[in-house]
Structure 1
Amino acid sequence: MTNKAYYHLPGLFEFYDLYAAFLPIFREHRDYFYDWCEIGSVYGAPADCIWGGGRAGFGEHSPREVLDLMKEYNISSRLTFSNSLLREEHLSDKKCNELCRLFSQSPPPQNGVIICFDLLLSYLKENYPHLYFVSSTTKVLTEFSQLVNELDNDDFSYVVPDFRLNKALDKLSDLTTEQKNKVEFLCNECCYVGCADRKNCYENVSRKNLGENCPDHVCKAPNAAEGYRFSKAMESPTFICIEDIQNTYLPMGFSNFKIEGRSLGSALILEFLLYYMTRPEHQLKVREQIYLDSMLDLF
């Protein structure tokens, strides 16, 4: 391996308390964690953001508090503004613009926005040029040629492919170095590989964030009623485990890996941090420090 894995973690606003407990451990006890990985960014959005398109955010801490925490640890913050159904009149939204203004004026590290819709991309490029932009997996680009076109778009610093392209290794290996540097794999998706309704699911979330009165999306995938299970995600043929990262993706020249989980509980996010970043012999120590030395409420 000649490069490091950079993880892009969920819950910038949603799991502030967890990161406030975890990041000091990550800095002060770096030997607890794999030396081949770092935190590339933390992504999320507060509640009631009409530009949001991922799972609706929440959290009690202000954007300034969130930014200050990330800056203290030199971690990039990303706003999840991946609503796919925005219209021109939505671009003037005061709350979303204030967030972009704050994030774009923040000193290093540079902050970004995860985007699905070209209308919003054009607006942000013109008004907040100091932000970088990430092409969202909510575009559901399942054809490899679509991924290549997205990677060749100079507007995007990173592109998150549909998870079903994770194991297209023969085609992925043929990408240029510049293209590989922009790919950000979604590692732990639990969604059914054969799902043909994923885009409708994301659009349902977009409608709700716009305040539309619409019924919930009903997932028809096998065992959908169970909800997210990390154990089930691990059984998916598209799952990227730490051995895959070490032995396949890093040697191929890929270095960016996204962990999903904004709609989950902080206890499960901690399990992701333990699995993907923490040496097995130190996982109990990390758990104990977070459980016993903080006010973090995992339930």
Structure 2
Amino acid sequence: MEELREPDRTGECFRAYFHLPGLFEFYDLYQVFLPLFKKHREYFYDWCEIGSIYGAPADCLWGGGRVGGGEHTPEEALALTQEYGISARLTLSNSLLRKEHLTDARCNQLCRVFSKVQSPQSGVIIHSDLLLEYLQEQYPGFYYVSSTTKVLTQFSQLEDELRRDEFQFVVPDFRLNKNFDRLRSLQPRLKDKVEFLCNECCWFGCADRKKCYEAVSRRNLSSIEPEFRCKSPGADEGYRFSRAMKNAGFISVEDIQNRYMPMGFSNFKIEGRGLGSALILEFLLYYLTKPEYQIRVREDIYLDNMLDLF
């Protein structure tokens, strides 16, 4: 393992901000983990922070990432993040919305709840420009994140997206993660907006990624939409963190500390809304927790009688 070091050159970032999955889906896990993160900060890397937790309720019409869930209300999810000073992000990345969908009562109520808070400000992960324009007019309290569901695989596409003033952050397709020459050449203000997807398990050469996301969007709009069956190598095995680590686009802890932060990048997204809470815990251990304290954190989580990991 490459030794971690503190940044020491001009222009480097001194903090990495992780954006974590499962605002609704893994509420119970975060209800246990966040107090631990706050009380025992010595367990965790001093160069990392939790920038946001993202997700959407089950059956969210405007949703377009992996289908959400969870038993907790929007008010409860928002209150948990507010308690710990963490931004809550709504995953409203449906790419197939039409004008008639904008009047959905449940989604509008969700936005009313989350747009009211300003410290920390709530965000929206978004794909549709139609929805973006609507939210900007109706709920001016949000900031916006350009979704990786756009599958921007050309670096010129990423640069164009980064220059859009509407977005505070842009999540590139994971296949641009190691394009270091082009990434290094970005202006500092654009580097600040890049949010890398770290742990994608999808086959690096997949040509159906956009179709997969569109299938999720259609399923959110219609319960009768058949599930998309990916035919990429290894897809039948489901998500495997061990396989993700071998992906050409994988970003390790060492990569973050020794490559991305020295280049001036500070935002990193962890995927996993469709996975179980036990696997999300492994992500939290790997990316945020010092190796010598991982067993302590794991024990504290597993021994909490309020939490049922699956």
Interval containing the TM-score (normalised by the shorter chain): over 0.9
**SS at 1:95 equivalent:** helix
- After TM superposition, the runs of 4+ consecutive aligned structure 1 residues lying more than 3 A away are none
In the alignment of these two chains, the number of paired residues is 299
Name which of structure 1's ranges 81-90 and 210-219 shifts more when overlaid on structure 2: 210-219
The answer to whether residue 260 in structure 2 is matched with residue 249 in structure 1 is yes
- Match of residue 122 from structure 1: 133
Measure the CA separation in 2 of the matches of 1:269 and 1:294. 18
The letter of the residue matching 1:132 is Y
Corresponding residue of 2:61: 50
- Aligned position for 2:163: 152
Q: CA deviation at 1:48?
A: 1.1
- For the pair 1:240 / 2:251, whether they are aligned, the reply is yes
Q: Match of 1:78?
A: 89
Q: Give per-residue Cα distances to partners, 1:140-174, cap 9 Å, x unaligned.
A: 01000000000000000000000000000000000
Determine if the alignment matches structure 1 residue 109 to structure 2 residue 120.
yes
Amino acid at match of 2:285: L
- Tell me if structure 1 keeps the 8 A contact 2:145–2:167: yes
Listed as ranges, the matches of 1:11-90 within 5 Å are 11-90=22-101
Contact persistence 2:118–2:141 (CA under 8 A): no
Alpha-carbon distance in 1 for matches of 2:294, 2:85: 24
Q: Alpha-carbon deviations, 1:164-222, whole Å to 9, x = none? A: 00000000000000000000000000000000000000000000000152221111111
Partner Cα distance (1:48, 1:214) in 2: 13
Instruction: Give the whole-Å Cα distance in 1 for the aligned partners of 2:305 and 2:164.
Output: 44
Distance 1:154 1:52, change over 3 A: same
- Quote the RMSD (CA, aligned, Å): 0.8
> TM-score with structure 1 length normalisation?
0.99
Decide which of 268, 273, 284 is 2:284's aligned counterpart. Answer: 273
Q: Is 1:7 equivalent to 2:7 in the alignment?
A: no
Identity of aligned residues (%): 69
TM-score w.r.t. the length of structure 2 is: 0.95
Corresponding residue to 2:212 among 197, 201, 204: 201
Indicate the SS of the match to 1:13: coil
Secondary structure of the corresponding residue to residue 182 of structure 1: coil
Aligned residue identity for 1:209: N
The answer (yes or no) to whether the contact 1:21–1:294 under 8 Å persists in 2 is no
**CA deviation string 1:25-63 (max 9, x = no partner):** 000000000000000000000011110001111111111
Q: Is the 8 A contact 2:219 2:226 kept in 1?
A: no
2:270 to 243, 254, 259: 259
Structure 2, unaligned stretches of length 5 or more? 1-6, 8-12
Match of 2:180 in 1: 169
Asked if 1 retains the 8 angstrom alpha-carbon contact of 2:218 and 2:225, the reply is: yes
CA distance in 2, matches of 1:175, 1:3: 18
The equivalent residue for 1:132 is: 143
Q: Deviations over 1:77-102 (max 9, x none)?
A: 00000000000000011111111111
Distance 2:75 2:254 in 1: 37
